Amino acid sequence: MTFSRTLAASLLVAGAPLFAANKEHAVTPIQNVTISGVVRDANGAPVAGAIVHSGTSYSNRNGTAPDGKYSLTVPGGRTTLITIDDFAFESVTVPITPTKDATVDFTLTKSRPTVTVKLTNGETHILDLGTSQFAFLVTFSGYVRFDNANFCKPDSSTFAPSKSEIAKIIGPATPVNFSACCTLGPVMTLNVELKTGEKSQVYFNDSCQGNEVDFLGRELSTGVYNYFNFANIAEIDFP
C-alpha cells in the first residue's frame, strides 16, 4: 500500500511540468482584419456589382458599390485566397497576406462573351452571353426560359439551335397565319442565320398559343436583367 502511494506521488510530480508547459504554449487566436479597395476593369474603370469574398466571408452579397469599392473582413497575418466574381468577367483568385486597414485593389481583365441587341427604336443593348436566354411569358405564371430557341421551320420541322450555334437573328418578329406550324391562330416569325452559314425563316412554337416571346439577359453596363419582346428587336448579333 505504501509502494502504491509513493508511485502515485511520483507520477503526480513528474506530470506537473507537462501541464505547466502546455499552458506556456497556448495558441493565440488569429485576429481578423479589414481590408478595402477598388475593383476595376482592364481600362481602369470601376466595376460595380462584383462579389469579393474569401471562403464564407463576403464584402457585400449585393456586390461592389457603383464606384467599385469593397470592404472585407478576413483573418490577418496569414496567406488568404481572395476571389472576385462578376457576371461580365472571368473570376480572379489572388493570394494575399492581409494586414489591418490594408488597401488592396483588384483588376478584372478577361471579359466574358456578349450579345448585341438592336431594337427597332434605335437603342442598342450589350448583354452577357452566359445569362442571355430565349423566353416566353405565361400569363399569371411568369417567364419560361431556355438556352435553346424553340423554332418551327417552313417545312414544319422542329428547329432548336442553342445560342452558341446562332450567328444572327433578324427581326422584328411579326404575326402570320401558318397552319403548318400553328393551327391555333397567328404565330410570330423572323429570320435566323447560323454560324454554319445556314439561313432560314423560322416561327416561334412558343407563340402559337398567344404567348409573348422575348430575349433576355443581364445588361453589361448595369448588371440589370433586361427583357426584350422579339416584336421590338431589329437584330441580335451573337459572338
pLDDT digits (tens, 9 = 90+) for 152-163: 999 999 999 999
Q: How many domains is the chain built from? A: 2
45 pLDDT above the threshold of 60 = yes
Beta bridge partners of 192: 169, 200
Same domain assignment for residues 87 and 145: no
110 pLDDT above the threshold of 60 = yes
Instruction: Please indicate, yes or no, if residue 24 is contained in any of the structural domains.
Output: no
Q: What is the pTM of this model?
A: 0.75
Contacts (Cβ under 8 Å, ≥6 apart) of 82 = 52, 53, 54, 72, 74, 93, 94, 95, 96, 104, 106
Same domain assignment for residues 80 and 136: no
98 pLDDT above the threshold of 90 = no
pLDDT value of position 4? 42
CA distance 190 to 71: 48
Listed residue (67, 62, 42) closest to 52, CA to CA: 62
pLDDT value of position 26? 58
Instruction: Please indicate, yes or no, if residue 11 is contained in any of the structural domains.
Output: no
Instruction: Please indicate, yes or no, if residue 7 is contained in any of the structural domains.
Output: no
pLDDT value of position 2? 42
53 pLDDT above the threshold of 90 = yes
In this prediction, residue 12 has a pLDDT band, given cuts at 50, 70 and 90, of very low
Same domain assignment for residues 138 and 100: no
Instruction: Please indicate, yes or no, if residue 8 is contained in any of the structural domains.
Output: no
pLDDT value of position 228? 97
21 pLDDT above the threshold of 70 = no
Instruction: Please indicate, yes or no, if residue 208 is contained in any of the structural domains.
Output: yes
Grid coordinates of 119: 431594337
pLDDT value of position 16? 47
Grid coordinates of 154: 417552313
Contacts (Cβ under 8 Å, ≥6 apart) of 220 = 88, 114, 126, 127, 128
In this prediction, residue 20 has a pLDDT band, given cuts at 50, 70 and 90, of very low
Same domain assignment for residues 202 and 232: yes
pLDDT value of position 140? 73
9 pLDDT above the threshold of 50 = no
Percent of the chain past pLDDT 90, that is, above it, reads 70
Q: Decide: helix, strand or coil at residue 190.
A: strand
* Mean pLDDT to the nearest integer, 13-35: 61
Domain extent for 137: 114-237
pLDDT value of position 13? 42
